[in-house]
Structure 1
């Protein structure tokens, strides 16, 4: 059942994960047996019923002859929806013979937009945007799931519009591109992106998701007649709604018809903030959050993928400038603490040639620390920047209480436990900037296993962005009940 947590996260974050689970022998239900690994009842269907809540397709194979059809259906559903699917196979059927599946094209063939709906949606978008004086683009977290990043870039360059991204889609549009104006996140936006987004009279939102977290407690929630929404498979604007229009097809088709209008870039040039360089701290001064972020920023390359854990790591990472090619992973929708450690492990297995870095708080780290042993076992050179501020700082800023305190660990020494005399993981503790720089240099030389750097921080040392965001999210959570 613990796997359902990850599957729920994959559903929320639009990730096509295939979960394959065993189930009881097909004879046990009719025999009214009680079995281990169950709820101790004669009902064995509850697991697939639970799976249906967190997947786009859940199938149970009760006869071997049904396997080709049901497995193809589950996999194709996951690929098309970019959501997880669940396949349940009884213990006595796993090796049972069945007919071979048909051509793989039945599973992999892409879905097509309805041509008439696509053409009509593009025409409406051309008319809508053509009447705006200050149109711009906003990229959302579903852009990648829709395989529409390339089409979005094509549209941006065809329009000349300013481009902002939401925090869940950081790195989906190149940050070194001249039309990039930062992360739109209300009061905690980067590069003053909120000034332009709030000022624009026409906002094309591509794959966007507006939640209490992404809108900073509903204080930055674009809506109304100025909003044109392009979702993964449908298009909507005031007075119009088109289904069976795939996002990539729509963006690419619109790029062929739209007129160039760089008014928002001209306006942005008037208030674009000057780049500010974070000064290096005194080498022996007590380590601060800002110095950790500055040094992590200096490690980023086009080949880097930066994971930021739920917490202050969100805000540290969102503020960083990504070189072209660098990727950024954040779990903004599901928001599960502890997700980054197992996620970066899986990512490093699947993308061994990329440089994987994770920023994680001590509280989150304690939830899924066991996955570090897998990094040691598979010799994965993941860099773990562990922010040790003795508790759940993000929760402190939303709603403080004794429950946000945790037992401190010797995190740097913990790596030797996972090594068990044979692994090549490294653990270091940094109390100041010099020690952190030395540890990062040693991590770069360790290609045979993970390196964990425990950064000792004051409990109250967090970003001003977290403080502002926490205030507004806390206020939204504490709204009194509406009268009925």
Structure 2
């Protein structure tokens, strides 16, 4: 974590140069597109105008907010940006959840809340975004810059003359924190925070003193130079060695399988994973936390691998394989069904976003998942033995009995109707709890979106996330499956 707090008398030079960092950008982010102009070139030479243009530049067109007296001036400048739409939310927690859902669809999201009373309220949503590796810009309207160092007690706080309480809370759940309380280094702090969120694919915290957004300053007198985010690169020697070792390991196997994990998203490696599956012919499964990251219409897809509660016949194929490649797995107590998976380390290749570990043997760092999977696809022999074994033992699921008139609605009948609603023009948002398990049984058509929060599991997340996802992808019909208890949490 990196914390940078601007001092009142600092006189740092503003950074108007191209911001460079190692980051593989999401498809939704256009890092070299000129920023939107307000009132002509340099028309709004203020901190608020600069922040608005930066958000538009990285692909944010909707900002979720709860107005409060510490952020009102900043919100005025965001509203003035014609390419930004300000979406008011009923509370800060929902604003954070909405920004989370938006980031899942667009690659980055943003929310704006007020100091402490709003910042502490949004913490849970930001923590969830951190656990899911989502770039989220959390902006807080902070105290007047003249209040710093005065030992004054402010409203909306817990009554202590210490303005760092909110900051300290955010330090553990964001990858960068910027406290902007003077204009001299505001440009640098804002740009560094945003670029760090994109590079690390994690939330960041930006606090902006409430009296600063509307004050003109020379560092904002021109349209901001567009971000140039250099892509991360694999170590070539490490990549070649990892591919050679993995190919030798898998080509000797009789019935190898592939299993996709949730970190396929942060590695932007879903397409590379499918390319590998197409080339090798292995049976293809997905971890429960990665549903939606792997196309279920793939001809060799065998279902969800979740130990004892896997899709029918999927666990038998995965656990009987003599070699398995897991791409981006997270083995927590949920996904491992209480750490009960019948897997053996000596049979596994574990591919993380920037690291490959082969069985009990060598590990290779500085190897990006996308590069590794693409290169491995060219080195594997075609082997569909595991899929043929699955096809041999597979028995199609039966259909629920038809309900009689006035019979209580059964869950399996309800989800049969939901299944018929799904298409490439829909997306499913699954809430924590029963919806997790019932939605896992849905078969996603090509192009159908799917999102849930399995790592953090915050009840009520899906209500705000549905709003954010729908704003981000208005062309899709979003189907949210939410338990009534979780639904009530957000109101």
Q: When the two structures are superposed, what TM-score results if normalisation uses the length of structure 1? A: 0.73
Report deviation, 1:67. 2.5
Q: Which one of the candidate residues 393, 413, 435 is aligned to 1:291? A: 413
Task: Please state if 1:169 is matched with 2:304.
Answer: no
Q: 1:220 aligns with which of 330, 341, 344?
A: 341
**Structure 1 residues 319, 21: CA separation in 2 closer, same or farther (over 3 Å shift)?**
same
Could you say which residue in structure 2 is the equivalent of 1:99? 219
1:334-483 equivalences in 2 (<5 Å): 334-368=456-490, 370=491
Q: Among 246, 263, 266, which residue is 2:388 paired with?
A: 266
1:83 aligns with 202
Instruction: Give 1:275 deviation, angstroms.
Output: 3.6
> Partner of 1:335: helix, strand, or coil?
coil
Q: In terms of mean alpha carbon deviation, does 227-236 or 89-98 score higher?
A: 89-98
The Cα offsets for residues 156-208 of structure 1, whole Å up to 9 and x where unpaired, read as: 11111111101111122221211100001111111321111111121111111
Shift of 1:11: 0.7
Query: What is residue 379 of structure 1 aligned with on the other side?
Result: none
Structure 2, gaps ≥5 residues long: 1-119
Does residue 1:23 correspond to 2:142, yes or no?
Answer: yes
2:233 is the alignment partner of 1:112: yes
Structure 1 residues 6-85: aligned runs within 5 Å: 6-85=125-204
Q: Is 1:124 equivalent to 2:245 in the alignment?
A: yes
Higher relative contact order (CA 8 A, sep 6+): 2
Tell me which residue corresponds to 2:423.
Answer: 301
Cα offsets for 1:310-340 (capped at 9, x unmatched) = 1111111101111111121121100111111
- Give SS of 2:451's match: strand
* Alpha-carbon distance, 1:223 to partner: 4.4
CA contact (8 A) 1:136 1:202 kept: yes
Contact persistence 1:212–1:218 (CA under 8 A)? yes
What does the per-residue CA deviation read over 1:426-461, in whole Å, with 9 as the maximum and x for residues that have no partner?
A: xxxxxxxxxxxxxxxxxxxxxxxxxxxxxxxxxxxx
Per-residue CA deviation, residues 407-428 of structure 1 (Å, 9 max, x unaligned), is: xxxxxxxxxxxxxxxxxxxxxx
Structure 1 98/212 Cα, relative in aligned 2: closer, same or farther at 3 Å?
farther
Match of 1:455 in 2: none
Query: Normalising by structure 2, what TM-score?
Result: 0.72
Shift of 1:33: 0.5
**Deviation of residue 117 (structure 1)?**
2.1
Alpha-carbon spacing, 1:12–1:221, altered in 2? closer, same or farther (3 Å) = farther
Shift of 1:83: 1.4
Asked if 1:251 is matched to 2:350, the reply is no
Give the Cα–Cα distance (whole angstroms) in 2 for the partners of residues 262 and 313 of structure 1: 33
Gaps of 5+ in 1: 371-484
Corresponding residue to 1:229 among 350, 357, 362? 350
Q: Distance in 1 between matches of 2:343 and 2:200?
A: 25
* 1:95 positional shift: 3.1
Q: Distance in 2 between matches of 1:337 and 1:91?
A: 32
Q: RMSD between aligned alpha carbons?
A: 1.7
Give the equivalent residue in structure 2 for 1:395: none
In the alignment, is the contact (CA less than 8 A) between 1:307 and 1:340 conserved in 2?
A: yes
Q: Tell me the SS of whatever aligns to 1:18.
A: strand
1:210 to 2:337 alignment: no
**Given the superposition, is the C-alpha separation of residues 24 and 182 from structure 1 closer, same or farther in structure 2, using an over 3 Å criterion?**
same
**1 CA distance for matches of 2:218 and 2:419?**
53
User: What displacement does 1:5 show?
Assistant: 0.8
Inter-CA distance 133–55: structure 2 relative to 1 (3 Å threshold)? same
Structure holding more helix per residue: 1
In the alignment of these two chains, the number of paired residues is: 368
Query: In structure 2, how many angstroms separate the alpha carbons of the residues matched to 1:308 and 1:282?
Result: 28
Deviation at 1:152, TM superposition (A): 0.6
Change (3 A) 1:221 1:336: farther
Whole-Å separation in 2 of the counterparts to 1:253 and 1:167: 26
Structure-1 separation of matches of 2:181 and 2:379: 52
